[in-house]
Structure 1
């Protein structure tokens, strides 16, 4: 059996593309027929023998039921994930800098420290997401990051803030990879782009709600002083609400179709059958070194990783400095809290539209890339318009909010285009480790000596947007090339599909039936 796995692990579309004769294809199939007994996906606990036939009415009803039970939880918690990261930006203009005696680049380092924690724990947390019950481990992290965020209200100095931000990043490291796993586990490839767009768009809602909450607290505490500072109250309100949502997540979110309480036993089987076409299954608890090695040698995964680090440099800077940037356009501090909220609305709009159109026209990558180009236009407005043109430069900041479409497109493609659960979790870890590196670098581009305009930082952001656009175009080309190679394999004389291979935990490269989504 180990011999068979070794052959499969090293077999790629390129290898088989060179061997299309009948004897080669027959030999390839004879090896693959043995894989079905070797550590299959958990879904085989539910589906055996002939596949269940779902009518269009069954499919529509079941999808609606899944959406109603899963999406509200995923969306709200992901919105809190963004809000909790960016509370520091609101606090920066509500007095935290003075109250804990920050000087020079201290604030930038506190902003970056979140991603040091994220970076430190990203690989272990991805392994735990695979090994432990998915929903329960995710809920534990949500509860803990909410409680840790509350601790920010108690910091007295630079060292305390650095410590809390490190642990906040460590606990939030499970969110994006975990939610990508939930999406690939429950939804078909055609549905995944829109669903990732739905829950990621709640970053924008987080910015909208956060701006109003911070403004309300700032104005309210000015009119009616309380025993604690306004920035401390922001951390306490958002932190305790996050912990509460974590408890709800623990109670309501299923680990997979196997234990979904909102489904009947028959519906659980149907929920697994409907994602059979993904060629990915619903989960496998065992770590497989050959899949890890394949991820580390896959050009597509490295392109994802490079994109993540480049596009996260702007994100790391803007998400922590957007309030100060809006002030630099000529608005007051309290005005900047409110003026940040339309940026969140634009992000919601751009992600929902790009996700919907990407799925409808079967090209998420190009629609994601179009958002990056709109962001480039916004950055040109910020850089080239005169300082006196406050409205025009603010409009440029709003257009920059389209930039997240590219990041979300690729996050969705980790869910859709990477198969094999060890490979998928490895790819997600690589993508998010790179995300951490970029976000660590980002705040450092905003040097205190460049305040308040931060022109050099805006130039860095612009260059990163151009490079990330080029990487998206490369990934689109690569996926098309791989699909042609797989079509050659399937057309080979003697090729035959193995029964039940959808649930054998095969990787995308070793499974000729796997088709990459663009």
Structure 2
């Protein structure tokens, strides 16, 4: 068929499709035309910016002011709530020194949270797409705060397991929801930094939680109260979380078009500035072809594999850090306070990695190339997020290899392990950046966090009661997991570079045309030739 004959209206749709000279690509039929572009299924931004016919020009000064306004109004709320997300699920670690459990009971309490998370992860991602994003997220914040309060009333192992399960159910919406907020409000050049900011509040949560738990423990020893210190920890943190959930409900917009802190003109500008993301601002319809693309994409399975393997160490260390510090020769009360510098390491690592990733336009490695020197083939590589993983592996080696008499050195090793989340956060930000199509994006977020759940379920189980206080088999398992994750990151890097070359060839081919408003037609990253993967 001649190129001229391919133009026009595609049967079954009512918008003119652009011509793609390469057939058999994802989402492209046998004559080289996009199969799924349909303005009747576009998001609200399409109606405002394309059908409305209004041309929006944003000067650099206007964009800087708008970005600052978005950051100041949204980022503090995202950061605080995400910090509480981490603090709430690890509060059991602060109370662990006061709760008397037998054998593997504590490990199962740590894992049960992730059984709830796993059970509800797919349904909650579908609801994040179908329901108003901010309102559904706020509901979950309120409910998880109130659920945490219930932990103060548990009297036995069964009660603790039940509460932890439902805590996981309500917290399952947080990370995928925040990834959607990030892709919705910030450009691909800004998303790595912003994801690093809000995820770094895991570290602030660890710092705050340590001081709160230590203060309550010391205070109740000096002035005994009618409830135990660990019960007071759950009540104080749980009620504050619920309060922040109501603030979130009142202030957080579902998208740019109902943001109360923006003027009508600024709302349209906020949509225009994210046009370059090729993702729009949201689509509420489930699309089976996007679901199928998600579960057959090798890049996505590499994401899931990383999430599973990397969170085996996370699940173990986050639930057992108090016990590890006690094994270094410190008291139970001291362990609460000594865990706080680990949070500071995590904050610095995430903020620095996020900033450098956006600055060098590469979140995994800044550059990676071959060159021949003195007859040998060598690689030059500057690590970005992956450096945190290697620092964490060094830390675990210190814990494992140093003699038991080197308590300070092993404690420093624990602090270094807290740099490990940098690649996890980079990949979470790449779900915002590199996955387009709202059904595909929510599916991928669910898959990624299902891997997260499985890893965190396994993690506490590698810390066997029979191995304490050193937990040597668990420490070796963690080191192996870190090294496997480095290889997975390199696979993702090379895969994305390869796909970008293929898309560049399509765009450069004779006869290629870009469809007007294509950015807002809810196309996937695989079917959209204009989509460029970030690294």
Any conservation in 1 of the 2:25–2:527 contact (CA below 8 Å)? no
Which aligned pairs between 1:418-429 and structure 2 lie closer than 5 A?
418-429=435-446
User: C-alpha separation between the residues in 2 aligned to 1:272 and 1:255?
Assistant: 13
Counterparts of 1:214-253 in structure 2 under 5 Å? 214-253=213-252
Higher relative contact order (CA 8 A, sep 6+): 1
Aligned pair 1:431/2:448, yes or no?
Answer: yes
What is the Cα deviation at residue 13 of structure 1?
8.1
Partner of 2:85: 81
Which of the numbers 480, 493, 516 marks the counterpart of 1:476? 493
**Counterpart residue number, 2:357:** 358
- The change in CA–CA distance for 1:104 and 1:13 in structure 2 (over 3 A counts) is farther
User: What is the CA-CA distance between 1:368 and the residue it aligns to?
Assistant: 1.2
Q: CA RMSD in A?
A: 1.9
- Where 1:46 maps in the other structure, the secondary structure is helix
2:371 matched residue in structure 1: none
Partners of 2:39 and 2:306 in 1: CA distance: 37
- 1:191 equivalent in alignment to 2:196: no
Q: Counterpart of 1:47 in 2: which secondary structure?
A: helix
The corresponding residue for 2:41 is: 39
SS in 2 for 1:402: coil
Alignment of 1:421-500 (within 5 A): 421-500=438-517
- C-alpha change, 1:50 and 1:115, in structure 2 (3 Å) is same
Q: 2-side partners of 1:187 and 1:327: how far apart?
A: 43
Aligned counterpart, 2:110? 111
Report matched runs for 1:389-428 at 5 Å: 389-428=406-445
Deviations 1:110-135 (A, max 9, x none): 11000000000000000000000000
Alpha-carbon offset, residue 14 of structure 1: 8.9
Is there any run of 5+ residues in structure 2 with no aligned partner, and where? 1-9, 366-383
Post-superposition CA distance 1:1-38 (Å, at most 9, x none): 68679xx9xx9989459x9xxxx99x53xx34982424
Q: Determine which of 56, 60, 63 is the counterpart of 1:59.
A: 63
After superposition, what is the alpha-carbon deviation per residue over 1:321-360, rounded to whole angstroms, capped at 9, x for unaligned? 0011011111111111111000000100000000000110
Q: What per-residue deviation string (whole Å, max 9, x for no partner) do you get for residues 406-431 of structure 1?
A: 10000000000000000000000000
Q: Does the CA-based 8 Å contact 1:16-1:489 persist in structure 2?
A: no
Structure 1 or 2: more helix by fraction: 1
1:117-174: CA deviation from partner (whole Å, max 9, x where unpaired): 0000000000000000000000000000000000000000000000000000000000
The question of 1:125 aligning with 2:124 is answered: yes
CA distance in 2, matches of 1:121, 1:207: 25
Residue number in structure 2 paired with 1:169:
168
User: Which segments of 5 or more consecutive residues in structure 1 lack a partner in the other structure?
Assistant: none
TM-score normalised over the length of structure 2: 0.91
Partners of 2:237 and 2:356 lie apart in 1 by: 33
**In 2, distance between residues paired with 1:429 and 1:16?**
25
The answer (yes or no) to whether the contact 2:21–2:511 under 8 Å persists in 1 is no
Of residues 37-46 and 425-434 in structure 1, the stretch that sits farther from structure 2 once superposed is 37-46
Segment of structure 1 superposing worse, 327-336 or 150-159: 327-336
Corresponding residue number in structure 1 for 2:378: none
TM-score, length-scaled by structure 1: 0.94
Alignment length (residue pairs): 501
Matched, 1:259 2:252: no
Q: Structure 2 CA distance, aligned partners of 1:183 and 1:443?
A: 31
- Report the CA distance shift for 1:14/1:347 in structure 2 as closer, same or farther (over 3 A): farther
Q: Is the 8 A contact 2:395 2:414 kept in 1?
A: yes
Distance 1:219 1:455 in 2: 31
Q: Distance between the aligned counterparts of 1:32 and 1:138, measured in 2?
A: 34
In the alignment, is the contact (CA less than 8 A) between 1:315 and 1:442 conserved in 2? yes
CA offsets per residue over residues 268-318 of structure 1, 9 Å max, x none?
Answer: 000000000000000001000100000000001000000000001011111
Alpha-carbon offset, residue 41 of structure 1: 1.7
Query: For 1:213 and 1:315, how far apart are their aligned partners in 2?
Result: 22
Is the contact between residue 32 and residue 498 of structure 1 (CA under 8 Å) also seen in structure 2? no
Structure 1 partner of 2:298: 299
Using the alignment, how far apart are the partners of 1:63 and 1:81 within structure 2? 26
3-state DSSP of counterpart to 1:129: helix
In the other structure, the counterpart of 1:287 is 286
